[in-house]
Structure 1
Amino acid sequence: MRKKMVRLWLFAAVLGGMAGPWALPSPAQRVSDRDVEAMMRNLHDDTKSFLSGFENELKKSTIRRTSQEKDARKLAQDFEKQTGQMLEEFKKTRKGDVAVENTMNSAEELDRIVRQVQVSPKVTAQWEKVQSELAQVSHAFGIHTSSGWR
């Protein structure tokens, strides 16, 4: 029995050490408010860059000049506004759980459109960066993304 406990402890210690410095902090490792604010600011700035490229891609897409294009453009613009509002709310109240969840829901909808439209590799990379940053922000609030999304 004692050997089993030692093995189990060693196994847990090895697994714990494998996470490395690049891993997201666990909920027990609270991210500072200043770091959360910086992550949100980066998310908002990168969303602006993505929006510009995405809107240009829509002009060349198969859904151009349709109501789908208009809806996609509005969703992307709303998402950009949500990231800004999320940042402003956090700066004022140091809270943002609801805003983060709403932003994540919009991101999931926008992700489906980005995949449908098949944007350029550059815009795809911008979108993946936005998704990654949103995942970091959500993790800081203890909110985990759905399994099919970043």
Structure 2
Amino acid sequence: MKKNHSALFRCCAFVLIGLLNISAVSSLHAQKRVSDKDVEALMKNLKEDSKSFRENLDSALKKSAIRRTSQEKDVKGLVASFEKQTDSMFSEFRKTKRSDVAVETTIGSAQEIERLIYSLQLDAKTLSEWEKIRAELDRVSSAFGINVPYSRM
């Protein structure tokens, strides 16, 4: 009879340890989740920083190899569009607490900007501002479970 109690005790111990592990993993996942308030703050920062970036980029392009060309106009248009997308994303999230499609659209524009920024070899300040925006967009997209692949060309 002692053998049966010992085996039953070990079985219960393993089940209890398994349940504790599952509980620990669940609570870790819950801690990593970003609150709506934090997502809203991240989006607001992204919106504000994209405006600052656009203004700085416009100035940097005036000193670049593509100044006064149609390519300069295209880059400015893309960045202006990105700025509007961040604003729309923020507004949509404030109203509905959802913004998955807007996040994906914004990511698409960011990927295009990413390729251009590094191919144009702009000044360090502009690149630094872009890195900050990219990090913010990574945090926002992560809150929606979206993985953001970037490639510098």
TM-score under structure 1 normalisation? 0.79
**What percentage of aligned pairs have identical amino acids?**
49
CA RMSD of aligned residues (A): 2.2
Corresponding residue for residue 106 of structure 1: 109
Larger radius of gyration: 2
Check if 1:146 corresponds to 2:146: no
Moved over 2 A (4+): 25-30
Q: Structure 1 residue 30: deviation in Å? A: 2.3
For 1:56 and 1:87, how far apart are their aligned partners in 2? 26
Q: Which runs of 5+ in 1 are unaligned?
A: 1-12, 14-24
1:73 pairs with 2:76: yes
Q: Runs of 5+ in structure 2 lacking a partner?
A: 1-20, 22-27
1:58-102 Cα deviation digits (max 9, x unpaired): 111111111100000000000001000000000011100000000
- Are the equivalent residues in 2 in contact too, given 1:57–1:120 (CA < 8 A)? yes
**Secondary structure of 1:75 counterpart:** helix
After the TM superposition, which residues 1-150 of structure 1 pair with which residues of structure 2 at under 5 Å, given as runs? 29-146=32-149, 148=151
Q: Which has a greater percent of helix?
A: 2
Q: Contact (CA 8 Å) 1:27, 1:140: kept in 2 or not?
A: no
Q: Could you tell me how far apart the structure 2 residues matched to 1:27 and 1:111 are?
A: 32
